[in-house]
Amino acid sequence: MQKRPIALITGTSSGFGMNASVALVKAGFYVIASMRDLEKRGPLDKIANLHIASEHMEVISLDVTRPAEIEQAITSIIERHGRIDLLLNNAGCAYGGFAEEIPPEHWRSQFAVNVFGLIDVTRAVLPHMRRQQAGRIINLSSISGRFGFPGLSPYAASKHAVEGFSESLRLEMLPYHVYVSVIEPGSYRTPIWEKALQTQQPVPDSDSAYAGQMKLLRQHVESIMRSAPEPDAVISAIVRAATSPAPRFRYPVGRSTVLMLAAKTLLPWRWIERLVVKKLSPSSHRAD
């Protein structure tokens, strides 16, 4: 039987999930790193081989949108290890564009992964943590779970749902000594934003009523991708939430996140509206 606490992480083929897998092994966990497509495990294997002992990690296939796979994976983990001490819900995707033009399948796919997949994995783990009278559930949210940026309405809506679910679940599970936390990063260097750009604007720009705004939004996201820091601060927050004797509910990460949350709390909403709308207004960016 594994002596280290058992951590299950979803979405570990890249980004936060990949880096958190290695960091949590270093923090003393036995990590079960899951991903939808095992053919994409190469980057995780490479970083793991450089930094940790292989006996402290295993990689499994898990598509969080398939309930049968979730049930099979959790059953297998319990049979082999007897418990799950930490669940890190990291699997996610981002669809961009303006709400009117985003097709229904993108909305449904966004919620299938970011919301219903997260809920299904969590519900599968809860009976075991409740019986253990101990456990940690860490949900990867975003600044978009606290502020709805234009051009990212599916992603923002999904992360707002994660925040609400997590808040209710935190209060439900505290009597069983199960702590629920959310990590709220700003913009960091991970593949999710590049993928979001690739899915933006299914309507050709020339036919779009939002062409000018979309052009500015793309430029803004591309600028963020170029200047965004590495995800070290996010990984540190995950480790703190996983190892603290009494973890907080919310972990906002990054100076821009803290400033945005402060602005939303302290400034009149009309001021924020004007600033955001002006930034995405093509007329305000025209040369004199």
Nearest to 169 by CA among 180, 182, 154: 180
Q: What is the pLDDT of residue 225?
A: 73
**Selected residue with higher pLDDT from 265 and 70:** 70
pLDDT of residue 195 exceeding 70: no
The tens digit of pLDDT for each residue in 253-267 reads 988 889 989 999 999
Residue 155 is among the residues annotated as catalytic for this protein:
yes
Percentage with pLDDT > 90 across the chain: 73
Confidence of residue 206 (pLDDT cuts 50, 70, 90): low
Torsion, Cα of 72, 75, 79, 84 (10° steps): 120
Q: Report yes or no on 266 lying in a domain.
A: yes
The tens digit of pLDDT for each residue in 37-51 reads 999 999 999 999 999
Q: Which of 110-119, 158-167, 199-208 has the lowest mean pLDDT?
A: 199-208
Query: Do residues 196 and 94 make contact, with C-beta atoms less than 8 angstroms apart?
Result: yes
Q: What is the pLDDT of residue 200?
A: 57
The tens digit of pLDDT for each residue in 9-46 reads 999 999 999 999 999 999 999 999 999 999 999 999 99
Query: Do residues 129 and 135 make contact, with C-beta atoms less than 8 angstroms apart?
Result: yes
Nearest to 109 by CA among 123, 96, 122: 96
Confidence of residue 199 (pLDDT cuts 50, 70, 90): low
Q: What is the pLDDT of residue 55?
A: 94
Q: How far apart are CA 163 and CA 183, in angstroms?
A: 10
Q: Report yes or no on 254 lying in a domain.
A: yes
Q: Report yes or no on 131 lying in a domain.
A: yes
Helix (H), strand (E), coil (C) string for the chain: CCCCCEEEECCCCCHHHHHHHHHHHHCCCEEEEEECCHHHCHHHHHHHHHHCCHHHEEEEECCCCCHHHHHHHHHHHHHHHCCCCEEEECCCCCCCECHHHCCHHHHHHHHHHHHHHHHHHHHHHHHHHHHHCCEEEEEECCHHHCCCCCCEHHHHHHHHHHHHHHHHHHHHHHHHCEEEEEEEECCCCCCHHHHHHHHCCCCCHHHCCCHHHHHHHHHHHHHHHHHCCCCHHHHHHHHHHHHCCCCCCEEEECHHHHHHHHHHHHCCHHHHHHHHHHHCCHHHHCCC
Q: How far apart are CA 243 and CA 109, in angstroms?
A: 33
Q: Report yes or no on 288 lying in a domain.
A: no
Structurally, how many domains does the chain consist of?
Answer: 1
Q: Report yes or no on 1 lying in a domain.
A: no
- Mean pLDDT throughout 122-127? 99
Q: Report yes or no on 233 lying in a domain.
A: yes
Confidence of residue 208 (pLDDT cuts 50, 70, 90): confident
Tell me the CA distances in angstroms from 170 to 160, 162, 181, 184, one per residue in order: 15, 12, 7, 16
Q: Report yes or no on 226 lying in a domain.
A: yes
Q: What is the pLDDT of residue 287?
A: 45
**Selected residue with higher pLDDT from 195 and 143:** 143
Query: Do residues 120 and 91 make contact, with C-beta atoms less than 8 angstroms apart?
Result: no
Q: Report yes or no on 30 lying in a domain.
A: yes
Q: If you compute the radius of gyration of the chain from its CA atoms, what whole number of angstroms results?
A: 20
pLDDT of residue 191 exceeding 90: no
Q: What is the pLDDT of residue 134?
A: 98
CATH number of the domain bearing residue 27? 3.40.50.720
- Mean pLDDT throughout 200-226? 73
Query: Do residues 241 and 247 make contact, with C-beta atoms less than 8 angstroms apart?
Result: yes
Q: How far apart are CA 271 and CA 102, in angstroms?
A: 28
Active-site residue identified among 30, 155, 179, 188: 155
Q: What is the pLDDT of residue 288?
A: 42
Give the structural domain span for 74.
6-282
